[in-house]
Structures are given as C-alpha cells and as structure tokens.
C-alpha cells in the first residue's frame, strides 16, 4: 500500500497473523500514486513524477529512484558554454535540475521554497543562477545543488530575464518594470542600473566581448547598451505587440556582431541589422512566438511559442527547414547544445524535449 507520506507498507495476508503491516520504504519523493509488483520486484510512482524500483525479495534492499521529472510548467532550459553533455532546467515545482544528455538522468536536484515561481535561468557549468518571483537571484552549486548565495531585492515584482557574462565576472538581470541591472558576481554588488524600457524585460543577450548588452521588452522594442559607458546605443522597435525574445547572431569578430533576430506578438520572425533602422526581413509565422535561439555558427535558428511547434530556420536563406511537433502546450524556452547536435525545448506542458539535429556535410 502506498501512502501520501511517501511510504510503502506491506500487509501479511495470513488471516491468522492478523494482517501484520510492515513498512518497507519511506521518504519517497511525493505521495505514492501507483504500485506495481511482478515476481517480487516492485515499481512505485509518486505525485512528484518520480519512479522507484524495489526488490522486495531482499529485506535489506531499498527503493531506488530510476526516473524523475518536473511536475509543473518548465520555465527555462540552459546549457553551459562548451558542455554538450549536461543541461539545466527550472520549473514551477520550485526545482532546478541538471540533466545528463547521454542517458537523461538527473545529476543534480535543487529545491527552493518560499521564493515564489522562477522566471529565468543561467548555467555556467559550475553554478546555476535563477531569478525568482520574490525579486531575488539565487546561485546554486552545480555538483551538490546547495544554495551558494542570494541577492535579495534585485527587482520589484520578480526577475524576468537573466544572462551571465562570457568571462563569468558579472550577471545582467531584467525586471517587470523595465529596468536592467548589472551585478558583479564576486561581491554581488549592483554596478549598473539601466532604465529606458517602459514595460517588462523579456530577454537579455551579451555580445561575445561582454561590452554590449541587448535587452528586449514588452514595450515593442529592444535596446543595445554600452556597458562601459552605461548608456543606450541603439533602439529598434516593431510595429505591434511585445517582443518576447531576441538572439544575437555570432560573428568572427565582435565588431561584425550586428545581426539580431526577434520574435513576439507580431507573429513574425524578424531579422535586424543594427546598422540600419528597418528590419532586413520579416517571416510570417501565424502565431505568437515566445522563444528563439541559434546554433554556435549562427546558420540555423529555432523558434517556438503558443502553437506548440518548434521551427528551424536557415538564417542565411530565411527559409523554414523543419517543423517539430511534440509539445501539448506553449513552448517557453529552447537552446541548442554547444556542439549543435541537439536542441532542448520546454514548456507549459511540464515536458522537456530533446531533439537530434542532423545537417548535411
């Protein structure tokens, strides 16, 4: 019998023995929702999306977790630079997980209570950085999952976007009131406060040299900031609706990194050259898109949104390459692995999909 406290109890069915109960497992992650026994071996499922295997023939055996997953909306996924084996995810179940992409097992599990819902995620390889609805940014150790530090009151109303610098020296965050802030990681002190957006910041990107910061917002615009001068350099706006996400295409040198792609409520994939005021091209999609990412060479982009379809585009030809169907609700985040061989997506359906990417030589 599975209990709501995460325990398993076996009852002796000998009438003369009086149905003596024996507790054979305790402390399972969540209430037990299903039990299956075949040939003395048992499997348990819990309300927190965990599956355990248990050999009941061995009285010393303990229930072993063989599978786990998020049990609520998955807000964001992220790879660490240069590491295609592991990726991280954060969910409304208040958990942060690091997954092994080779066997899809969970390597690290962090749980935070009394922080509200998570809003964004960054992964350095050694640490996880999560922005929460209580306005704080929390850092977690990647191997053990322990909370390292907290920056309280980063943004009033929650942290909506986050990006880690390539040199791992600072962190940029955005909030629901349109403010963009820069934090030094060593001291956790505020070093820049940038205010130009009139609505919630939806995404952040840094140039390869960490000198320029790009921020998009629900005010229909995205801004390029000079972080050394702490001032706005360029603003670009679309005709209607919020910009939900942007991606900065890579380039051989930082000086040539001038191409940006955006998606949002305008229901189009928009290509921008920061040296010109008007978009280079607009590709109609038909539904609002919520997220965008690109490969390490910038030749392919992936977008997804409320229509539950992950689309791949050739960024040189502006052509649709593939449509990937699997999610049953809006897709909220996606990212290519650093080697560009896989694409990870997540969404409101609580699912994480790993897509294999095959390209012609």
* Predicted local confidence at residue 16, as pLDDT: 66
Output Rg (C-alpha) for the chain, integer angstroms: 23
For residue 256, give the 3-state DSSP assignment: helix
Q: Which residues contact 60 (CB under 8 A, 6 or more apart)?
A: none
81-101, pLDDT tens digit by residue?
Answer: 999 999 999 999 999 999 999
Phi, psi of 256 (to 5 degrees): -95, 5
Which one, of 117, 90, 113, 154, lies nearest residue 332 by Cα?
Answer: 90
Q: Which residues contact 38 (CB under 8 A, 6 or more apart)?
A: none
143 vs 342: CA distance, rounded Å:
23
pLDDT for the residue 15:
64
pLDDT of 162 > 80? The answer is: yes
Q: For position 11, what pLDDT does the model report?
A: 83
Mean pLDDT on 105-111: 92
Single out the residue of 134, 264, 269, 257 nearest to residue 202, CA to CA.
264
Which pLDDT does position 80 carry in this prediction?
95
Block residue for tokens 């965008």: 292
pLDDT at 205 over 80: yes
Pairwise pLDDT comparison (356 vs 17), residue with the higher score: 356
Q: Quick one: pLDDT at residue 218?
A: 97
pLDDT per position as a tens digit, 232-272 = 999 999 988 999 999 999 988 878 889 999 999 999 999 99
- The shares of helix, strand and coil residues in the chain, as percent rounded to the nearest 5, are 0, 55, 45
Residue 361 has pLDDT above 60, yes or no: no
Measure the CA–CA gap between 276 and 240, rounded to whole angstroms: 19
Contact 332, 319 (CB under 8 A): no
Q: Which of 55-64, 178-187, 203-212 bottoms out in mean pLDDT, i.e. has the lowest? A: 55-64
**What pLDDT shows up at residue 360?**
65
Which residue, among 173, 170, 172, has the nearest Cα to 184 in the 3D structure?
170
18 pLDDT more than 70: no
Residues, the chain, total? 361
Q: How far is CA 218 from the centre of its chain?
A: 20
Instruction: Give DSSP secondary structure letters for 18-84.
Output: T--EEEEE---SS-EEEEEEETTEEEEEETTSEEEEEETTSTT---EEEEE--SS-EEEEEEPTT-S
Return the pLDDT at 253. Answer: 82
What mean pLDDT comes out for the span 220-226? 96
Give the residue from 163, 160, 130 showing the smallest Cα distance to 148: 130
Alpha-carbon gap, residue 130 to 44, rounded angstroms: 31
For the beta carbon of residue 43, count every other beta carbon within 10 angstroms.
Answer: 16
Question: What angle (nearest 5°) sits at the alpha carbon of residue 351, between those of residues 96 and 171?
Answer: 35
């Amino acid at each position: 019998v599975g209990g709501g406290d995460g325990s398993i109890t076996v009852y002796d069915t000998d009438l003369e023995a009086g149905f003596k109960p024996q507790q054979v497992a305790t402390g399972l992650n969540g209430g037990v929702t299903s039990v299956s026994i075949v040939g003395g071996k048992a499997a348990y499922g819990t309300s927190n999306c965990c599956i355990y295997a248990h050999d009941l023939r061995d009285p010393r055996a303990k229930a072993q977790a063989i599978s786990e997953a998020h049990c609520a909306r998955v807000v964001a996924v992220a790879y660490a630079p240069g590491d295609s084996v592991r990726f991280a995810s954060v969910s409304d179940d208040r958990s942060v997980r690091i997954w092994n992409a080779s066997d899809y097992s969970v390597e690290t599990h962090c749980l935070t209570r009394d922080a509200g819902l998570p809003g964004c995620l960054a992964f350095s390889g050694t640490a996880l950085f999560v922005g929460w609805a209580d306005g704080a940014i929390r850092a977690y150790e990647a191997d053990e999952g322990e909370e390292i530090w907290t920056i309280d009151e980063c943004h009033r109303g929650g942290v909506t976007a986050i990006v880690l610098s390539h040199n791992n020296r600072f962190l940029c965050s955005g909030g629901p009131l349109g403010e963009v802030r820069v934090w030094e990681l060593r001291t956790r002190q505020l070093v820049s406060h940038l205010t130009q957006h009139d609505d919630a910041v939806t995404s952040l990107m840094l140039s390869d040299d960490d000198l320029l910061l790009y921020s998009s917002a629900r005010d229909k615009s995205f801004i390029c900031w000079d972080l050394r001068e702490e001032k706005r350099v360029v603003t670009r706006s679309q005709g209607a609706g919020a910009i939900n996400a942007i991606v900065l295409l890579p380039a051989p040198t930082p000086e040539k990194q001038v191409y940006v792609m955006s998606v949002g409520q305008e229901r189009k994939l928009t290509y921008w050259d920061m040296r010109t005021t008007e978009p280079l091209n607009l590709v109609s999609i038909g539904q609002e898109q919520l997220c965008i990412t690109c490969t390490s060479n910038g030749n392919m982009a992936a977008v997804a949104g409320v229509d539950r379809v992950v689309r791949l585009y050739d960024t040189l030809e502006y052509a649709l390459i593939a449509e990937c169907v699997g999610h049953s609700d809006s897709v909220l985040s996606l990212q290519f692995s650093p080697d560009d061989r896989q694409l990870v997506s997540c969404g409101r359906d609580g699912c994480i999909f790993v897509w294999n990417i095959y390209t012609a030589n």
